[in-house]
Chain A
Amino acid sequence: MESLSNKKKVLEVKPLNFMERIYLPAILKGLSITIKHFFRKPVTVRYPEQKREFSENFRGMHSLKRDEEGRERCTACGLCALSCPAEAITMTAAERQKGEEHLYREEKYAAVYEINMLRCIFCGLCEEACPKEAIYLDGDIVPSDMLRKDFIYGKDKLVEAPLNQ
């Protein structure tokens, strides 16, 4: 019967001819191929010392951004937590007090902001959801650790370093 895709190929298994039965020509051919690889440059990336370059749209560890005056951009609106498909983000909002204007950009800020790196799937939806351009997945690979609780990253690890002024 004609096959639907028309891609079916019936292979004929012929008995080996003399040259194939003495194996040697095939072996020599194989040897010539492998020796070519012997002198080829290895493709190995020696990882801890050498790192493969990330692509431009690589999504790594999150960072909470500051504005040009060094104030935290996040207003704890919760859109990132809402958009997160893995439910990795939690936060507690707090009201900005008098005298804290140089720390927080808006009247409301995140007192606690935690991302569970074991839950996070690095999809980047929090980045897209954020109306304040406060969160970006522009960091490195999340480092390994021993305990599950150490994978819950708080503000100490996530907020960008303050501006040097």
Chain B
Amino acid sequence: METTDIIIKIVLVVIIFAISLVIAMYSTYAERKVAAFFQDRVGPNRAGPWGILQPLADGGKMFLKEEIIPSSASGILFIVGPSLAILTACIGSAVIPWGQKLTIGSTVIDLQVTDINVGILYIFGVVSLGVYGIMIGGWASNNKYSLLGAIRAASQNISYEISMGLSIIALLLVTGSLSLREIAEQQHGFWADGWFTWNVFKQPLGFLIFIVCAFAETNRTPFDLPECETELVGGYHTEYSSMKLGFYLFAEYINMFISSAVMATLYFGGYNFPFMDMINSPNLVTILGVVFLFGKIFMFIFFFMWIRWTIPRFRYDQLMNLGWKGLIPLAIANIVITGVVITFLN
């Protein structure tokens, strides 16, 4: 690898890191605004025009709050929890292809940090690590509510990871590749060979299962049992204050952003958009592709929020019933059907 390549990669990492943090920051603002609109209110509108500086005010407040570590808490693990949560949330973005290649002069910039051939498995690994942050934090707090929240988070993530994985298997039967770049390339354009190229039209059931599991994995309503305020005070972050609490809340929004990006890449064509072949300049296609990808991501983030302000929380037994008796058999059936259809089409 040449020096310029390394520099380009480092710059790309920094940019993606900054973008995911800024998007997470403004997701908190968007969440409050969207919630307000859904409830016929106007939302935060005091800090700056339309309250646009609200996230900065929130962040400043978080930093200035008193740092409280309960005397009965386990010192190191109490700090490891939120750090792990935000770390795993941030590193998931490494394998997502943000766009096609950008050519400046003679240098070709690949808008993806790394194109490993097991991209999906990498994301799965990172997502399953994410629950450790919650579990360690909840357990180290030495508080029964935190512990209950942590246990719920762990069992919920384990249950839904299975059906998520199974829904991905059906997708892999279609794509034949684990590399996210290749999956995105296969969905080139919008229409080819008499059918849509985007995977959502080839795997509608798989997408449905995947999105439900994504809600569960990111601990969003209707599956926000780990932090459900009405039963568990604050769930796993009951004992947390100051920026450690901020990290947990932030990690949730980064997770939301990353899972939106993954869903857009796997099922909604990633950076591909209709009529992209009619534009001659490849750089323009790349830039428009990035814009379209972010449009899709924002659409998914909005959908996350839309669901949150529509559906009440599931009861714990309903959650488990849905996961084990509903989604897993459905995902297996989806695999079988996909396999049969592919065999007959060939």
Binding site for B on A (CB under 8 A): 22-23, 27, 30-31, 33-35, 37-38, 40-44, 46
* Distance from A66 Cβ to chain B, minimum over Cβ atoms (Å): 41
Chain A CB within 8 A of B36 CB: yes
B311 surroundings in chain A (CB, below 8 A)? 27, 30
Bound form: Cα–Cα A46–B310 in Å: 26
B40–A34 contact, CB under 8 A? no
B310–A42 contact, CB under 8 A? no
Bound form: Cα–Cα A42–B45 in Å: 13
**Nearest CB to that of B308 among chain A residues?**
A34
B310–A43 contact, CB under 8 A? no
* Distance from B147 Cβ to chain A, minimum over Cβ atoms (Å): 30
Q: A27-B307, A34-B38 are in contact. List 16 more A-B contacts (CB 8 A).
A: A22-B326, A23-B322, A27-B311, A30-B311, A31-B310, A34-B306, A34-B310, A37-B39, A38-B34, A38-B37, A38-B38, A42-B40, A43-B40, A43-B41, A44-B40, A44-B42
- Known pairs A37-B40, A38-B37, A38-B38; A31 contacts B306 (CB<8 A): yes
The answer, among A23, A35, A40, A44, for a CB contact under 8 Å with B306, is: A35
Chain A CB within 8 A of B309 CB: yes
Instruction: Please give me the 10 A-B residue pairs with the lowest Cβ-Cβ distance, nearest first.
Output: A34-B310, A30-B310, A44-B42, A42-B42, A38-B37, A43-B40, A34-B38, A44-B41, A42-B40, A31-B310
Bound form: Cα–Cα A43–B36 in Å: 11
A37 surroundings in chain B (CB, below 8 A)? 37-40
Bound form: Cα–Cα A22–B212 in Å: 12
Contact with A along B295-329 (1 / 0, CB 8 A): 00000000000110111000000000010001000
Bound form: Cα–Cα A23–B326 in Å: 11
The answer, among B42, B307, B326, for a CB contact under 8 Å with A31, is: B307
A42 surroundings in chain B (CB, below 8 A)? 36-37, 40-42
A23 surroundings in chain B (CB, below 8 A)? 322
Binding site for A on B (CB under 8 A): 34, 36-42, 45, 306-307, 309-311, 322, 326
**Nearest CB to that of A38 among chain B residues?**
B37
A33 surroundings in chain B (CB, below 8 A)? 310
A31 surroundings in chain B (CB, below 8 A)? 306-307, 310
A35 surroundings in chain B (CB, below 8 A)? 306
A38 surroundings in chain B (CB, below 8 A)? 34, 37-38, 306
**Nearest CB to that of B303 among chain A residues?**
A31
B42 surroundings in chain A (CB, below 8 A)? 42, 44, 46
Bound form: Cα–Cα A63–B43 in Å: 37
A43 surroundings in chain B (CB, below 8 A)? 40-41
* Distance from A129 Cβ to chain B, minimum over Cβ atoms (Å): 43
* Distance from A35 Cβ to chain B, minimum over Cβ atoms (Å): 7
- Known pairs A42-B42, A46-B42, A46-B45; A27 contacts B310 (CB<8 A): yes
**Nearest CB to that of A23 among chain B residues?**
B322
Bound form: Cα–Cα A23–B307 in Å: 13
* Distance from A51 Cβ to chain B, minimum over Cβ atoms (Å): 16
A-B contact pairs, 6 of them (CB 8 A): A30-B311, A38-B38, A42-B37, A42-B41, A44-B41, A46-B42
* Distance from B137 Cβ to chain A, minimum over Cβ atoms (Å): 31
A41 surroundings in chain B (CB, below 8 A)? 40
Most buried by B among A31, A34, A40: A34
Bound form: Cα–Cα A46–B51 in Å: 13
B322 surroundings in chain A (CB, below 8 A)? 23
Bound form: Cα–Cα A43–B37 in Å: 10
* Distance from A14 Cβ to chain B, minimum over Cβ atoms (Å): 17
* Distance from A25 Cβ to chain B, minimum over Cβ atoms (Å): 13
**Nearest CB to that of A28 among chain B residues?**
B310
* Distance from B218 Cβ to chain A, minimum over Cβ atoms (Å): 17
A40 surroundings in chain B (CB, below 8 A)? 40
* Distance from A46 Cβ to chain B, minimum over Cβ atoms (Å): 7
Bound form: Cα–Cα A46–B322 in Å: 43
B40 surroundings in chain A (CB, below 8 A)? 37, 40-44
* Distance from B30 Cβ to chain A, minimum over Cβ atoms (Å): 13
* Distance from A20 Cβ to chain B, minimum over Cβ atoms (Å): 12
Bound form: Cα–Cα A30–B322 in Å: 19
* Distance from A43 Cβ to chain B, minimum over Cβ atoms (Å): 5
**Nearest CB to that of B302 among chain A residues?**
A38
- Known pairs A42-B41, A43-B41, A44-B42; A34 contacts B36 (CB<8 A): no
B309–A34 contact, CB under 8 A? yes
B326 surroundings in chain A (CB, below 8 A)? 22
* Distance from B215 Cβ to chain A, minimum over Cβ atoms (Å): 11
B37 surroundings in chain A (CB, below 8 A)? 37-38, 42
* Distance from B207 Cβ to chain A, minimum over Cβ atoms (Å): 13
**Nearest CB to that of B36 among chain A residues?**
A42
